[in-house]
Amino acid sequence: MLSILGQQLATSPRHPRREFLRVGALGSLGLGLPEMLALQNGAVAAGPTTTFGRAKRCILMHLWGAAPHQDTFDLKPEAPAEVRGPFLPIPTNVPGVEIGDHLPLLSRHAEKFTIVRSVNHREGDHQAAFHDMMTGNRYQWLDKRNAAKPTDNPNIGAVLSHLKPRKNGLPEYVQLPSLLQTNSGKIVPGQNAGFLGKSFDPFLVKAVDNYKPAHDPGFTDFNPPAFRNPGGSLSNIRIDRRRKLLASVEDGFDKAERGKRLVGFDDYYQQAFSLVASSKARQAFNLAAEPPEVRSRYGFTPFGQSCLLARRLVEVGVPLVNIYWRNGRRRTDIGWDNHINNFANLKNWQLPPTDMAVAALFDELGQRGLLEDTLVVLMGEFGRTPGISAEGGRQHWPFCYSVVMAGAGISGGQVFGASDSKAGYPARDAVSPFDIGASIFHLLGVDVTRVFHDFLGRPHRVCKGTPITELVGT
């Protein structure tokens, strides 16, 4: 139980010590009775109870490579220098809630989001941990560095597409801005439909093909190749040409492999063609329709323009958009995997475009009235070590890290859970990637205990975790 002003608040039986309060209010002194009553009411309201299916749409932003939580959303200014590093916490627009000093724009939007500071697991490999975060289920292969397989667990978007299809002439879910691959060229598992089959794969937008440096104002041709000539309606001749082009792709596959590799390909082909011919889809994907000042606010980087495109897509009815970090610096992108030069990379390449893009996304979703029923998640596959190496880097650390969640009934201006004095382990209210996944499914209206079957008829539960009721309600 948790007591405020003499009133006891029931906490979850699954996590009896869980505390979930508006941090800024507790940090304030000299409150009068009206403010104290407002605090009490706010605490009661912190755990919403009617949020199942509240999210009509979802934007998942994954910082591939794993951002350091100690330098972004869980700073420890009292820790030893070899732990805390040179970055400092700054106040946000919510009293008592602080984030890193290289996220000044996001600090103005803290009332919109909740920071979950107690996510933890035991998987220190990028591919396997990414799979777990993006599917809500554990990676099943002993070789953690396997490429994506047809027997993998499906991406959250694939499950949503399978169980709650929306045949509205738009993709069921979209992946931006490219295919995520390892340094050796392997496709990272967890991006596609896995055992659900190719017909439930994401609509993959390969919009990054010039690899100009981040912050380059010339990076203005970020657009899906198939949608770069959107003006007016397509003529019958052009539609026929596109149909033939897609057909040539189909014919290019080896006949002997079709049974194994092309399960669901016909459905995927039809979806691809309908999108190519659809004026609604072409208009949604046309970033050139945005005023230059809007595009500039998001930043002319792959991540920034992906966030803008995601806003356009969910606004017209795409249920889910996955954005995987690309910085545009090179064709093989290690993302946030800062084993060396962590602080220079963060300061110069990673945090400024992230701060700009996510702040602009929150701002526009709020202004357009979309945040009430749009779930927004910012996460990585794990955290980074409390200690700093001789090369100035932080290593893989799955034992504690932070996830940011907003919208669709999640109360903003809050911190859920806590890490210890070095941000090394959860101090209370530990949750897993599977609980994060279950919370996402819950808000999207998918019962995580529901069972569906793969192409061999084997049963699978939607998600291994349990929704965090104090965060998303019941």
Structural domains in the chain plus CATH codes: 18-32+48-221+290-472 (3.40.720.10), 231-284 (no CATH)
**20 vs 231, more confident:** 20
Q: C-alpha 448: how far from its chain's center?
A: 19
Q: CA-CA distance, 298 to 363, in Å (whole number)?
A: 10
| Tens of pLDDT, residues 127-177 | 999 999 999 999 987 777 788 999 999 999 999 999 999 888 889 999 999
Spatial contact of 322 and 155, defined as CB atoms under 8 Å apart: yes
Residue 345 has pLDDT above 70, yes or no: yes
Buried b (16+ CB within 10 A) or exposed e, 27-49: eeeeeeeeeeeebbebbeebbbe
pLDDT over 80 at 375, yes or no: yes
Which structure tokens are listed for 444?
């999207």
The pLDDT score that the predictor gives to residue 455 is 86
Query: What is the Cα–Cα distance from 175 to 295, expressed in whole angstroms?
Result: 19
Better pLDDT: 247 or 300:
300
pLDDT at 326: 83
